[in-house]
Structure 1
């Protein structure tokens, strides 16, 4: 029985109206008035300027929380899946066993030292007063004028640039799925993050064939790579 592992990126959610990361209006293209996205999306920014961090996170990610899944998410609903996306659309489409390796916008945790697995809570975005955004976010996330407090303040359940993969993000299970796969299909990803590089290295070491699905596919060093220059929806229609 074949065991195909699907690894998806922002391109899969673009048909749902959610920007990709490096396009003209991409998440990693547009920052705040004073900081680049790479400066904003850090644990350091959350700790030292939580109002700025939370307002940016809310405007760039949380405003898309009510978008719905598209045909690609529904097709992936019964597949072995690791997604880099935090939009939660795979869960909305019905996948009960996918790994959201970078977190989810609909959940938060207590602010904690990295390492242990901690409880995840439903994010209280419905309580936000957008007319007083920063003050409202600081209040909801239990952050005082002294900044976030360990095991007291809330933190978005999202892996930031200066953080590392831990069991909270199911990294061991993700690696196990990579080693057990007999094929990997990468959909809508630029291969610019650690998890795709990790998967690619495992595929090379274990001679696991891969497929790359993207309108502008990144070419990788792997002798058993097949490229599909198309969107995820076009690929699904092609193989259906």
Structure 2
């Protein structure tokens, strides 16, 4: 018989080992802030890449052949992110971090930085962050956008000055978004690959929020948590994710079909009660 969420939280708080509360978030948690998801009916891959499949457009190969088009799209994303504000779900997760301290880890697929805006500090951004850039030749590390570079509407062309600002000051090559593309691999330096899997081994409860689980590292994290005896709690209003398909028949999987922010507030209250 599966435990209730409240019982699971109480028991995990009392454990001395494998007691980390890990939160794995995806685009769904930011949809309440007005940011479109990727693969939903209003997803950014549908709105923003009308003539391309995601696996084609969202690649380093495509970027190398179409620098200006890709940067138009990403400067549109920059505009969306600048206008977005954290929602109650983001704030609840930040408050949970304050409650749990070393028994907490946030792993996010999101590239919008809204968790940090809400006050989260311990964040593994496993797909990077669209608020930063790096040289496409990797001649230097991650850097901030030039303050002079402004966001764009989706159909707005780059100016000559924009193009100048989107080139590396060290080597002259194009800058690129500091995000993981479909034809690239996870690594530790940029995407916390090893750290995320190490955390998974020591996780008592993995809360999966707002992600379909379509990429490999989130799948590996979930597999590792269950392999080492942890529980997976998915917060999803639909039964349409990789996690549901893969784990719903196991005793260590719980699905909560509620709005993410409401459930996260309730989880915070349970942690306060039993901590």
Q: Confirm or deny that 1:101 pairs with 2:126.
A: yes
- Map 1:1-150 onto structure 2 (within 5 A): 1=16, 2-59=19-76, 61-66=77-82, 67-77=84-94, 78=97, 79-112=104-137, 119-124=141-146, 126-128=148-150, 130=152, 132-133=157-158, 135-142=160-167
Task: Report the Cα distance in structure 2 between the residues aligned to 1:237 and 1:3, rounded to whole angstroms.
Answer: 18
Match of 1:191 in 2: 213
Task: Report the Cα distance in structure 1 between the residues aligned to 2:24 and 2:130, rounded to whole angstroms.
Answer: 19
Task: Report the Cα distance in structure 2 between the residues aligned to 1:134 and 1:186, rounded to whole angstroms.
Answer: 41
Task: Report the Cα distance in structure 2 between the residues aligned to 1:45 and 1:198, rounded to whole angstroms.
Answer: 27
Task: Report the Cα distance in structure 2 between the residues aligned to 1:228 and 1:33, rounded to whole angstroms.
Answer: 34
TM-superposed CA distance for 1:151, in Å, is 7.4
Decide which structure has greater helix share. 2
DSSP-derived class of the 1:190 partner: coil
CA RMSD of aligned residues (A): 2.3
Larger Rg: 2
TM-score for the superposition, normalised by structure 2: 0.76
Which residue, out of 160, 164, 175, partners 2:185? 164
* Structure 1 unpaired stretches of 5+: 144-148
TM-superposed CA distance for 1:111, in Å, is 1.5
Are the structure 2 counterparts of residues 125 and 49 from structure 1 closer, same or farther at C-alpha, using a change threshold of 3 Å? farther
Match of 2:101 in 1: none
Match of 1:146 in 2: none
Specify which structure has the bigger relative contact order, considering alpha-carbon pairs within 8 angstroms and separated by 6 or more residues: 2
Task: Report the Cα distance in structure 2 between the residues aligned to 1:213 and 1:139, rounded to whole angstroms.
Answer: 44
* Structure 2 unpaired stretches of 5+: 1-15, 98-103, 270-275
Q: Confirm or deny that 1:221 pairs with 2:249.
A: no
Contact 1:30 1:37 survives alignment (8 Å): no
Task: Report the Cα distance in structure 2 between the residues aligned to 1:206 and 1:125, rounded to whole angstroms.
Answer: 46
